[in-house]
Amino acid sequence: MSWFSTNYEKAALGGAVAVTLALGYVGWSKLGSVEVDFSAGLKGLGNNNAAVRDAELIPKAIASLKFDRTWTQAMAGDRPVDLFTGIPLFVSKASPDRPLDLFRDAPVHPPIPNIWWIQNHLDPSFADSPNRDPDQDGFSNLEEFNAKTDPNDANSIPSLVAKLMFVKPEILTWVLRPGNESEGKFSFNYVDSKNIANKTSAEEMIAPGGLFFTKGAVLNRFKMLSSAVRNVTQKYGDVNVTFVQIEDQRPNKKGKVYELPAPLPESQKNNYLQHDGTAVFSLEALGMNGKEFKVEEDTSFALPPNGTKKDYLLKSVTPEAVTVEYTSPTGEKKSFEIRKGSMPQSAE
């Protein structure tokens, strides 16, 4: 058997040591010569380092960090420029291949001029742009334009009466029937459509100047003013009829006088029916949509309903409509009608 075969492990170990020594020598021999082999100067910064591309720009970039970078609106002549999209352009629905210039072309949404959208920073490109409400005050862009108010300010609003909705009427029907006279005094009987009734007894007959009723429903609602006998032509000839004058004491009807025959027969009571009207309203603005409030006939009220200035007077209530009176800025008394389920068609 040969020497190599019997001494294999020794030979392998000796070879490994020789290779290691050779690699170590190569590394040692290159130490200190990196600059020459790679032609790179590792000393210095910026443009002193010729091995870094565009190194001469580094000092300029550092210096630029000290510049005033306050943003100002870019202009193209007298027109503001959107720095992201340039001057905004639109197209006409009728001519989609032709750009539309808001400054020079016809209004996109007549009667609102295009400049109004630009001045108020609003987007006219939606089909319903006139009906939009950017400040959420309950008034559309078109309504704000017509009223010359700010569409972006919820405190700048048109007249609130334009958003007054007549929801429904509440009408109480009643009749007051005088009885027979006794020594200048009269008895009275009251009944209404809610089946509420009241009457004076024989001991409580009312003389001129007296208030009634003294208890129960419609307490002290009426005052007897006077009585008089008049000659009246009836179907079967002239007869003398006694009439009494009654003044309403209800706050919203104070001073209203009813003239009634005494006695008033049950068969004739429908000829003398009276009504207490109340309107149920809602204000469809200022986030109050659908919140109902009530106003009695001949009563002043404010808008919004919790306001202090009662500028409006509910003149009449019928099943179909209400009439509201107000004073115009010029001091002139004006009125308008609101149909049930609607808002005013025209009101300043």
Query: What pLDDT score was predicted for residue 271?
Result: 95
**DSSP run (H or E) holding 321:** strand 321-327
Whether CATH 3.30.310 fits 162-168+277-339? no
Name which of 120, 146, 155 is nearest 286 in CA terms: 155
DSSP string, 32-88: T-HHHHH----SS-GGG-TTSTTGGGHHHHHHHTTS-------EETTEE-BTTTBS-
Give the pLDDT score at 101.
79
Does this model's pTM top 0.95? My answer is no
Confidence of residue 232 (pLDDT cuts 50, 70, 90): confident
Residues 275 and 175: their CA atoms lie apart, in Å, by 9
Report the candidate in 260, 256, 278 with the shortest Cα–Cα distance to residue 167.
Answer: 278
- Structure-token pair, residue 88: 């905004």
What band does 76 get if pLDDT is binned at 50, 70 and 90? confident
Is residue 8 predicted with pLDDT exceeding 60?
Answer: no
Buried b (16+ CB within 10 A) or exposed e, 164-194: bbbbebeeeebbbbbbebeeebbbbbbbbee
Rg (CA), the chain: 47
Question: Residue ranges of the domains in the chain?
Answer: 73-158, 162-168+277-339, 173-273
Q: Which of 13-22, 36-45, 114-123 has the highest mean pLDDT?
A: 114-123
152 vs 103, more confident: 152
Query: Taking residues 101-120, what's their average pLDDT?
Result: 90
Nearest-angstrom CA–CA distance, 285 and 344:
14
CA angle 182, 186, 187 (to 5 degrees): 115
Q: Which string of DSSP letters, residue by residue, matches 143-172?
A: HHHHHT--TT-TTS---GGGGEEEEEEEEE
Other CB atoms within 10 Å distance of the CB of residue 290: 9
Statement: residue 9 has pLDDT above 70: no
CA 228 to chain centre: 57
227 touches 205 (CB < 8 A): no
> Is residue 263 reached through a cis peptide bond, with omega within 30 degrees of 0 on the bond before it?
yes
Strand order in the sheet with 312-317: 299-301, 312-317, 321-327, 333-339
In tens, the pLDDT along 22-70 reads: 555 555 455 555 444 444 444 445 555 556 677 777 788 888 787 777 7
